[in-house]
Structure 1
Amino acid sequence: MNKTILKWAGSKARAMDTLKMHLPTGHRLVEPFAGSCAVMMNTDYEQYLIADVNPDLINMYQQIKNDCEFFMLIASGLFNASNNNEDTFRRHRFAFNKSKCIGDVYKAAIFLYLNRHCFNGLCRYNKSGGFNVPFGKYKAPYFPKAEILAFAEKAQRCTFICCSFEETLRMAMPGDVVYCDPPYLGNSKTEGFVSYHTAGFGYVDHEFLALALRNLSSKGYPVVVSNNHSDRVLALYTGFEIASFDVRRSVGASADSIKTAREVIASLPAVRDMCSPCNERYCGNCMHSAGAVVQ
């Protein structure tokens, strides 16, 4: 298992063994919800299209891809005892939130510092776009040198873009496999962690995502999506092949906070509007069932 650079709520690291059984083969993996890139780091597609609406996340990944050595030089200097206190953390967080240089290596380095020093590795923003997770009070935050080096090597096969899932899915090409790991949707309006970005991700967004994935499947793209096991998720993905499984999930800072949660993987194969036996488009005269699965 290749570990990720970031600590990340909802990371698929603990679910990779199960998830890989449901990811079909293909030339390129398209991921509209990058997160910690656990899926990218633990699969072996020839190419990757990795997207996220969070510009800080994509900036860090792009900086590591472009110049890993320089990024590590800047970032490693932040991981020392003098920077591991609440006052210094607040100063770095303030500078990070004031910075307007989206494509800046220094901001990317501070993003890693904040992730590794903040409470439980959360990535959360207020409505003004400010990173607002408090100091984590860890004795010696880990600098992920080996993980950065491994990521930099794999990143040469990746294209990183900062855009919405709708825009990303429109970039799908023949031979692609689409995998989505959106923020979790709970059984009520208050359940689920949706503040990874200023805009949030609500129920309507989940509805649009499910519709977009159905459309992609009908156009010949295999699609896979993860979420937590809830009545609303199961209703959204009616007609998908559903696999339910248990995964260990960290919900706090202590070892006691690691609990088992139920999750689902919903998938649809690539479907085309041509009848395989007839090699013709479906019509009223076709005796075969509509929706031929692409082999």
Structure 2
Amino acid sequence: MSTILKWAGNKTKVMPELIKHLPAGPRLVEPFAGSCAVMIATDYPHYLVADINPDLINLYQEISRNTSDFIERTKHLFQMFNSEDGYYDSRDSFNYDKDPDWRAPLFLFLNRHCYRGLCRYNKKGEFNVPYGNYKNPYFPENEIRAFAEKATRATFICASYDETLTLLVPGDVIYCDPPYDGNFSGYHTAGFTEDDQYHLASILERRASEGHPVIVSNSDTFLTRSLYRNFTHDRINVKRSIGVAAGKGKTADELIAVLKPRVWAGFDPAGGPDCSVVHEVRA
């Protein structure tokens, strides 16, 4: 199933490789929600999905709570405002009117009509991606309904990655897909700096030492290989349409970094969570 959003770094196409590294567990924790491609493509009993972007989390919460109403509102926008003027009027409404009933539908509308589905804000917190000039943008009704069904297993929170990683419980599996090293990271006004890359890697290594399997996606660069030097590495080559220089092949190497804890406390593979059990994890 495709994702609801067009999203830079969407993991749908790499899931056949990524899923090989995701162990079973009672709950998958994702501090960087993105398009929720990993949640959609996996079958964990529970999910904790977080992101620092409040518009993204509001979209997912609204779909979960009011699926039919959300579909009708968003369908109306697609039918009535599918033009350049309609796009910029809708972007103004999103940035300045801030009507809570329409904010989630507008966010999806902008995503499907803006240039390459980018999510970008200026320093004032205003969505500023230009019109994408698509003749007939796809309305993902089937994807919305499938997402809503899967979301019954999920909790969505607006929180930073470090806040989210304080909420772990025994048995949790961690998957992180942060803004990539060296790539665009303006999906939120706070950005994502090199210091954040260091801080995230440090937290993840600590959480692995506490018994949590950790899987990370990032660019395959000198920095990421250094930050995740204690992890096992799997390099994959992926197609990219954003951030590729003219004349170059539109592919790039990505790194899947995995750290399996020596012991995994709190999960009985046969019976689910069990805080009295400590299992040795073998590669």
TM-score normalised per structure 2: 0.90
Could you tell me which residue of structure 1 aligns to residue 107 of structure 2?
Answer: 111
Q: Provide the residue aligned with 2:190 in structure 1.
A: 199
Among candidates 218, 238, 241, match of residue 227 of structure 1: 218
Cα offsets for 1:88-108 (capped at 9, x unmatched): 21111111011445xx34100
Q: Does 2:164 match 1:165?
A: no
- SS of the aligned residue for 1:21 comes to helix
CA distance in 2, matches of 1:205, 1:293: 31
Deviation, structure 1 residue 251: 2.2
Partner-residue secondary structure (3-state), 2:21: coil
Q: Partner of 2:30 in structure 1?
A: 31
Letter in 1 for 2:152: Q
Does the 8 Å CA contact 1:71/1:105 hold for their aligned counterparts? no
> Which amino acid letter does the alignment assign opposite residue 131 of structure 1?
F
User: Does structure 1 residue 96 correspond to structure 2 residue 94?
Assistant: yes
Aligned pair count reads: 267
- Deviation readout 1:63-85 (Å, 9 max, x if unpaired): 000010000010000112x4122
Look up the match of 1:238. 229
Tell me the distance in 2 between the aligned counterparts of 1:245 and 1:16.
11
The aligned residue for residue 270 of structure 2 is none
8 Å CA contact 1:250–1:257 kept in 2: the answer is no
Query: Could you tell me whether the CA contact under 8 Å between 2:121 and 2:188 is conserved in 1?
Result: yes
Aligned-pair identity in percent equals 53
Alignment partners' CA distance in 2, 1:33 and 1:134: 24
Distance 1:273 1:15, change over 3 A: closer
Deviation string for 1:155-187 (max 9, x for gaps)? 00000000000010111111110000000102x
Q: CA RMSD in A?
A: 2.0
| AA of the residue aligned to 1:197 | H
- Larger Rg computed on CA atoms: 1
Q: How does 1:24-63 map to 2 (within 5 A)?
A: 24-63=23-62
1: CA distance between counterparts of 2:150 and 2:196? 30
Distance 1:294 1:15 in 2: 25
Match of 1:144 among 124, 140, 163: 140
Shift in Å at residue 257 of structure 1? 9.4
Deviation digits for residues 10-59 of structure 1 (CA, Å, limit 9, x no counterpart): 11111100000011110100000000000000000000000000000000
The verdict on how the C-alpha distance between 1:51 and 1:258 changes in structure 2, with shifts beyond 3 A counting, is farther
Q: What stretches of structure 1 move > 2 A for 4+ residues in a row?
A: 270-274, 292-295
Q: How high is the TM-score relative to the length of structure 1?
A: 0.86
Read off the aligned partner of 1:235 and give its amino acid letter: S
